[in-house]
Every structure is written in C-alpha cells, then in structure tokens.
Amino acid sequence: MTYQFSDRVPESDEDPVGNILKVAGSPDVISFAGGLPAPELFPVAELKRVTDEVYDESGRQALQYSTAIGYPQLREQIVKRMAHQGVKTTIDNIMISTGSQQSIDLTAKMFVNPGDTVIVEKPTYLCALDVFRSYGAHIVGVDMDENGMKIDQLEKAVAENPNTKFIYTIPNFQNPTGRTMSADRRERMIEIADNYDIMIVEDDPYGAIRFAGDDIEPIKFYDDHERVIYLSTFSKILAPGLRLGWIVAEKSLIKKFTLMKQSADVHSDNLTQHIVAKFMSEYDIDDHIDKIKQVYRKRERVMMNAIEAFFPKNVHYSHPEGGLFIWVEVPGDVDTKALFDTCIKHNVAFVPGEPFYPDAVTPGTFRLNYSNMSEDHIKTGIKRLGDAIKETISESVSSVSRN
Ligand SMILES: Cc1ncc(COP(=O)(O)O)c(C=O)c1O
C-alpha cells in the first residue's frame, strides 16, 4: 500500500530529539537532556485521597461525558490563580485543554493557513515549532538576549511580514533558554501588536516556578484589546501525566476554541479535572509550588556553582530565576553534534541547540535541565561536561591549526 499522507505529515521518520533522549537514557549516562519535573515532588498521597473522594461523592458525574470547555469548578480555581497574577478573568474566558501542547495545536489550527507568518523567539520550544510547521506556517525567528525577545528586531519582523497571525512567546524562564522577558519589553510587545493589529500567544508553563527575583506580570496583564491568548498548564506545578492545561482568551474566542476542541478530543479527561479541582479546593497548591521552588532553587544553585567551577571561563550561560533550564553557549565554531558525541563518551548528556531554532542554528549551543537530578549527580555530571567541552574545544582548535 502506498500511503497518501497529507502535507501536515513530516516526510522523514527521523526523530533526532527522540534519538538523543534514547542515548541519554542509558543507565551509565547522567542526563540533563529531558525536561521532566522531579517525580519525588508529585503529591501522590494527596491526589490518591482526593481521587477516592471524587469517586465517593461524584463518581458517576466524573465518569460521564462532559462539555468541551471544561469542569466549571476547575475553571473557577483557575480564575483565582489568574487573579494572583494580576489577570482579572471569568470562567467564560477559560477553556480546559489536554495540556499546553494541545492549546498550542488548537491555536495554530484556528489561525494559521499555509504561508501565514508566526513570529517566535530564537531559539524556542521545539514542539511548538513542530506544530507551526505542520500547519504550513512561515516561521520567523527573532533573536533574544538576557531580557527576552529583542524588541526592535520584533518590530522589524512584524513590519516585514504583513501576513503575521501571531507572536508566540514564552516570557517566563523560557524553554530552552531559561530567560525571562522584562516588564518594559512586555509592554512594548503589546504596543507593537496593537499598532499592527496582530495577536500574541503567551505560553506560560513555568511562570509559577519563580525561585529568585521579583514577579513580573504576564503580557496578558497589559492586554487592553483582548489580543493575548494566554496558555498555562498543571504539568510543571502538579504533574505532567495529568495532561491538563488551560487557555485564557476573549469569550468569543473561547467559543471557537471549544468547537475546535470538540472535534479534536470531545473534552479533556473529566475524572482528572474533578480530581485536580478537588485537590485545589482541599490543599493550598501554592504551598505545594513552594516545595517545588525550594528543591529546584537548590538544584539550580548546585548546577550553577559546578558550571562556574568546571566549565572553561569563556563559555556563556543563562542565569534563570525559575523554571527548569539553563542555556549554554560555547564560543567559536564548535560542532554541537561532536560535543554531544564526546559527552556521551564521558557519560553525560544534554539537548543540542539545533532543534530549537526555526532557521539558522547558533553552533555550540545546548540546553541543560536541573529539575530531574540529584545534587550529587548534578555535580558529577557538570564536571564530566566541563571535561568534554575542554576536549572538544582543544580538538577543534588543533583541527583548525592543521587545516
Ligand atoms: C514552552 C512549553 N509549552 C508547552 C509545553 C507542553 O506542556 P504540557 O505538558 O502542558 O502539554 C511545554 C512542555 O515542556 C513547554 O516547555
């Protein structure tokens, strides 16, 4: 049989990131490659308790089909969480999704025709790039610095691409760089979107996990014209296996999202929505998030100290104030693939920068995760990584001098 795939299906079956994670998963390798939360922090006993209560009190309702927009009690809880962040909203502005990944997919499905422009940070979340590509988007990357997307470059990109549908941004502790967009850039981004009448998709899975510095209001906070679609998720603040996220947007947009979601998966798991709503009504989720922050803060400090001790001094790296990732830039024309291979020989792994770039790749870049690793492993792994970087740099210098 010759399968006649649609244009959305990638031609190649290659899964470079999957292959990296497979190699990194070998038991001898200390892997900073995945982006997994620490499983020892999942509130298993509490979730078990409230699950029993849901079965006892409303088992039949929770196991029944439900509405695409989501369980009202859970949306009520999210209204309260958003208020904490300075965003006033109502349950009619919120739809529950099957994780932020689905929110990104539904957003692209709803707005992107082949050839439409989507503007993203460079680098950005690789699975969002996959989604935008699958809908035939023309993806334009805008460089970042320590304060997020470079706003002058953003304005130029918007001006040069009149068919821009939206700017996709991860303003807090970005995946993959760990960087956070400053408040003034958030305001400037809104101004640009207002001037050119385009939308902003604000993807915020990590914002609640701030362990240093001061909170910054979401871009949605500055949004007077209902042009920001705000996405978040329970994946990093509770557990990713629950597969629950949410979208905050203007009411008429939520109605459209609801229709799109109905045809995608009818609704997100109703039982899980009841369980999470119950958890949030019986426990203070902010207490739970505080525990996550404390552990991640310690792991990030241990990783940072080890980087300072073991990496060559000319290597640059981001200084996250929250989230899960540090971004590393090895100067010179270092082949990240060769560096990865050397690291595997040293039994340590990361995700090379390449898949995070929509277009030209900055060589020598890679992402490190610190949330999913003991402090001892972090110290040992970063020492190995420092040795591998030194080895790769000296090999590339000697091959340049030979040529
Ligand atoms: C920036 C970003 N957006 C969305 C997601 C997807 O999250 P979820 O588990 O809610 O689908 C991730 C997951 O790592 C992410 O890093």
pLDDT tens per residue across all 403 residues of the chain: 999 999 888 888 888 778 888 887 888 999 999 899 999 999 999 999 999 999 999 999 999 999 999 999 999 999 999 999 999 999 999 999 999 999 999 999 999 999 999 999 999 999 999 999 999 999 999 999 999 999 999 999 999 999 999 999 999 999 999 999 999 999 999 999 999 999 999 999 999 999 999 999 999 999 999 999 999 999 999 999 999 999 999 999 999 999 999 999 999 999 999 999 999 999 999 999 999 999 999 999 999 999 999 999 999 999 999 999 999 999 988 888 889 999 999 999 999 999 999 999 999 999 999 999 999 999 999 999 999 999 988 776 666 555 5
Consecutive H or E run containing 230:
strand 228-233
Closest CA relative to residue 33, chosen from 19, 47, 50: 19
Does the beta carbon of 176 sit less than 6 angstroms from any atom of ligand 1?
Answer: no
Does the beta carbon of 100 sit less than 6 angstroms from any atom of ligand 1?
Answer: yes
d(CA 81, CA 85): 7
Q: Are residues 304 and 396 in the same domain?
A: yes
Strand, coil or helix: what is 374? coil
* Interstrand relation of 30-31 and 348-349 (parallel, antiparallel or unpaired): parallel
* 8 within some domain: no
| Residue 223 structure tokens | 């949004």
Strand, coil or helix: what is 199? strand
Pocket test for ligand 1, best of 125, 247, 276, 367 (most atoms within 8 A of CB): 125
Instruction: Give this prediction's pTM.
Output: 0.96
Residue 3 Cα, ligand 1 centroid: separation in angstroms? Answer: 31
Total domains in the fold of the chain:
2
Specify the CATH number for the domain of residue 319: 3.90.1150.10
Determine how many CB atoms are found less than 10 A away from the CB of residue 352. 23
Give the tens place of pLDDT for each residue, 104-154.
999 999 999 999 999 999 999 999 999 999 999 999 999 999 999 999 999
Specify the CATH number for the domain of residue 138: 3.40.640.10
Closest CA relative to residue 382, chosen from 294, 310, 290, 300: 310
CA atoms 328, 332, 336, 341: torsion sign? negative
* 1 within some domain: no
Q: Are residues 168 and 89 in the same domain?
A: yes
* 10 within some domain: no
Does the beta carbon of 353 sit less than 6 angstroms from any atom of ligand 1?
Answer: no
Does the beta carbon of 105 sit less than 6 angstroms from any atom of ligand 1?
Answer: no
Closest CA relative to residue 87, chosen from 258, 252, 202, 170: 202
Q: Are residues 222 and 246 in the same domain?
A: yes
Domain extent, residue 131, equals 44-282
